[in-house]
């Protein structure tokens, strides 16, 4: 069982005829977000696990600009530079100037909708940084502009709930028709909790590994796989980007003493490489 090809998923999103839903799908993908983390409206089912009826979706002010240093050059790039210096195609001054150029990035604040919140408690957040270079991430500037067009104090996807998007891509335009993604074995408990490895529970509650039709949440699976396999994200990088709890290889107190979900400077350089979708997808 395997995930759909990344370029195909991106291409399908680009075919969405409703621009608001297209941008919502791009956000779910780019931010590896749960649907409720972008939605500006709640559904009836959201009230069960969200007694405070808190809307998690971002507002226009939850996007801003910043810069990062360029990534370290690869051996191939170093060899190319040395050859150009030898042949006179470039100078040391030009090479140094290029090496000092900052890369613009867009930073997005996404609230994490995983934990049950108490009265008056604000959801934790994570910061997603994407390079504003089309060659690296062709959707970054478009997404940043969309946030700003919403207005500083307005929800970016004010008119959308998770159910609205599900209904559109299931009945109005089957954007992901024929695409499937694998679900690992889990157990569904009556109180709504999920155990990844079922232990000592009623076998009737066991859900075995299976393929599921790709919908909004499947984009989080595809993006997670891409970050690890294509962009070489490691443990803390994944914790920062996706908002996961850290594993056994990281000191247990690290997340308590350090704001790991804000450490975008750690991983953003990994994204500063040519994106295959620019050449193989629908981006010119």
Specify the 3-state DSSP secondary structure of 212: strand
- State both tokens at 119: 């009265």
**Do you know the residue count of the chain?**
284
Spatial contact of 170 and 215, defined as CB atoms under 8 Å apart: yes
- Per-state percent for the chain, helix, strand, coil, to nearest 5: 40, 15, 45
Residue intervals in the chain for CATH 1.10.443: 6-71+104-179+217-280
- State both tokens at 170: 């299931």
The sign of the torsion formed by the CA atoms of 273, 278, 280, 281 equals positive
The pTM of the full predicted model, rounded to 2 decimals, is 0.84
210 phi and psi, to 5 degrees?
-160, 170
H or E segment at 110? strand 103-111
Looking at residue 251, what is its pLDDT?
57
- Give the angle subtended at the CA of 203 by the CAs of 202 and 207, to the nearest 5°: 115
Beta strands in 121-175 (DSSP E): 125-131
Looking at residue 57, what is its pLDDT?
95
The separation between CA 80 and the C-alpha centre of its own chain, rounded to angstroms, equals 33
49 phi and psi, to 5 degrees?
-95, 0
Looking at residue 254, what is its pLDDT?
60
Strand-strand pairing, 63-68 and 103-111? antiparallel
- Give the angle subtended at the CA of 30 by the CAs of 24 and 32, to the nearest 5°: 95
For 6-71+104-179+217-280, CATH number? 1.10.443
User: 6-14 and 19-30 are packed helices; what angle lies between their axes, rounded to 10 degrees?
Assistant: 160
The separation between CA 24 and the C-alpha centre of its own chain, rounded to angstroms, equals 12
- State both tokens at 250: 């990281």
CA distance 135 to 277: 9
Looking at residue 204, what is its pLDDT?
60
Mean pLDDT by runs of 10 across the 284 residues of the chain is: 83 96 98 94 73 85 95 84 89 83 95 74 90 96 97 96 94 94 69 49 63 90 94 91 72 65 93 84 52
CA distance 38 to 40: 7
CA distance 101 to 95: 10
């Amino acid at each position: 069982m395997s995930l759909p090809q990344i370029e195909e998923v991106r291409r399908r999103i680009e075919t969405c005829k409703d621009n608001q839903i297209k941008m919502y799908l791009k956000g779910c993908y780019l931010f590896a977000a749960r649907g409720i983390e972008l939605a500006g409206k709640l559904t009836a089912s959201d009230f069960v696990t969200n007694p405070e009826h808190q809307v998690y979706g971002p507002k226009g002010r939850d996007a801003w600009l910043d810069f990062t240093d360029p990534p370290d050059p690869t051996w191939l790039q170093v060899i190319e530079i040395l050859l150009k210096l030898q042949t006179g195609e470039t100078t040391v001054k030009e090479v140094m100037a290029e090496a000092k150029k900052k890369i613009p990035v867009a930073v997005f604040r996404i609230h994490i909708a995983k934990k049950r919140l108490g009265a008056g408690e604000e959801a934790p957040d994570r910061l997603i940084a994407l390079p504003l270079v089309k060659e690296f991430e062709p959707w970054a500037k478009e997404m940043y502009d969309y946030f700003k067009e919403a207005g500083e104090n307005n929800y970016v996807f004010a008119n959308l709930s998770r159910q609205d998007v599900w209904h559109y891509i299931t009945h109005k335009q089957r954007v992901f028709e024929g695409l499937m993604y694998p679900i690992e074995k889990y157990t569904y408990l009556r109180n709504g909790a999920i155990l990844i490895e079922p232990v000592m529970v009623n076998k009737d509650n066991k859900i075995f590994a299976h393929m599921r039709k790709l919908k909004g949440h499947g984009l989080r699976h595809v993006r997670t796989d891409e970050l690890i396999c294509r962009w070489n994200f490691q443990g803390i990088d994944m914790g920062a980007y996706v908002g996961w709890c850290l594993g056994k290889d990281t000191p247990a107190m690290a997340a308590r003493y350090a704001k790991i979900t804000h450490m975008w400077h750690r991983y953003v350089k990994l994204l500063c490489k040519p994106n295959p979708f620019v050449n193989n997808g629908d981006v010119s």
